[in-house]
Amino acid sequence: MYLNLRSIAVAAALCVTLAGLGWFAISSGDSPAAASSSRSPAQGAAPSGRPGAGGGGPVSVITVELKREAFNQQMEAVGSARANEAVDITAKLSNRVTAIRFREGQQVKQGEVLVEFDGEQARATLAEAEAALSDSRSQFKRSRELFATQALSEAQLDQLQATLSANEARVAGARSQLNDTIIRAPFAGRVGLRNISIGSYVSPGGVITTLDDTSIIKLDFSVPEVFLATLQEGMELSARTSAYPEAEFIGRVSSIDNRLDPVSRAIVVRARLDNKDARLKPGMFMTVRLLRKEAPALMLPEEALVPEGTKKFVFVVRDDKAVRIEVQTGRRRPGEVEIVRGLEPGDVVVTEGTQKVRDGVTVKPMVALESAA
């Protein structure tokens, strides 16, 4: 009896377990379809939610609208400043200094006396020559009267005339020697330091002082051969020196040498700078920047170029699509290149994002169109 009751309990528990499994199987059989149905819209929406996925979205790029602008070619060089006129003041004859008529650094006028030498001997020589000349003139005058009465031969008259001419030459020479005892400024300018004192004995060629006209500064600098075609007289330039780092000195090219250095293949160019304020000194080291204004050119930022081998391409936006165009470039300046062929003013060119676009791809500019800087 006890065994029958136990068997009945086990059988009942087994039935309950089987019934629970059946109900779970039926309910879970419906849920996969529902889950599949609920997930399908989300999975289908994912592709359409990504910009540009599947080739349908535009590629964002930065563009620039091309315009013609003045192409100012710039050239830099270094040079040395020189005085407009410069000379070493020297003596022509050996003599002793008797007077110094200038102060060091003084501004002098043309013809102003700078130095005087001992002129006693020169004055005595001149007086002797003038006396001999006066005597020759008197004799020649009397001889002409005698020659008119045939009391004097023509040969004697010619000899007296020769003596007169010689004495005139002696006077001119003596006067020149006397003038050499006084040194005058050959042009207006500023004298330098003096190398003599009163009583000094000066030999020919010995430098007494210097004289410089610095109202205009000549600036000599070398330019490479490749820039020779762009050089011309009258070109404007600016120069700077470390002595006045904030100052800019404006001048113009005054002359160009007619020979190139066979070693450096460079040509010397000379410019003239106004120096009325006397800030610039001969011998200064200066940096030069030449500026030449030329005809308007079509300039494009360098980053827009897409090189392929020896060719260069750009992407132009037309009807919201990128069009690949081959271009020919010309002159360059920092950050920009001239377009000689392939583009026209008004073309909208991709400058950033060229690596993301292909020919025919739809694009969308991210910024307002700007002119090439």
Fold for 59-72+296-365, please state it. Answer: 2.40.420
Dist CA 359 CA 356 (whole Å)? 11
Question: Does the structure show a pLDDT above 90 at 218?
Answer: yes
Give the residue range(s) of CATH 1.10.287.470 domains in the chain: 85-202
| Residues 189 and 112: beta-carbon distance below 8 Å | no
| Residues 143 and 159: beta-carbon distance below 8 Å | no
Give the residue range(s) of CATH 2.40.30.170 domains in the chain: 76-81+213-294
pLDDT range class, residue 191, cuts 50, 70, 90: very high
pLDDT tens sequence across 302-336: 898 999 988 999 999 988 888 999 999 888 878 88
Q: Which residue has the higher pLDDT, 72 or 162?
A: 162
- Residue 74, pLDDT score: 73
Helices (H), 49-182: 120-148, 154-179
pLDDT tens sequence across 276-288: 999 999 999 999 9
Dist CA 210 CA 191 (whole Å)? 5
Question: Does the structure show a pLDDT above 70 at 24?
Answer: no
User: What's the CA dihedral at 180, 183, 184, 189 to 10 degrees?
Assistant: 140
Q: What is the CATH number of domain 76-81+213-294?
A: 2.40.30.170
Percent residues over pLDDT 90 in the chain:
41
Q: Where are the beta strands (DSSP E) in the chain?
A: 59-65, 68-90, 95-100, 107-108, 113-117, 182-184, 189-191, 201-202, 207-224, 236-241, 244-260, 266-274, 285-301, 306-308, 311-318, 321-333, 336-341, 348-352, 363-365
- Residue 54, pLDDT score: 40
Q: Which of 117, 111, 112 is nearest to 99 (CA)?
A: 117
pLDDT range class, residue 247, cuts 50, 70, 90: very high
Would you give the DSSP letter of residue 58? P
Would you give the DSSP letter of residue 283? T
Q: What is the CATH number of domain 85-202?
A: 1.10.287.470
Dist CA 311 CA 152 (whole Å)? 103
Give the residue range(s) of CATH 2.40.420.20 domains in the chain: 59-72+296-365
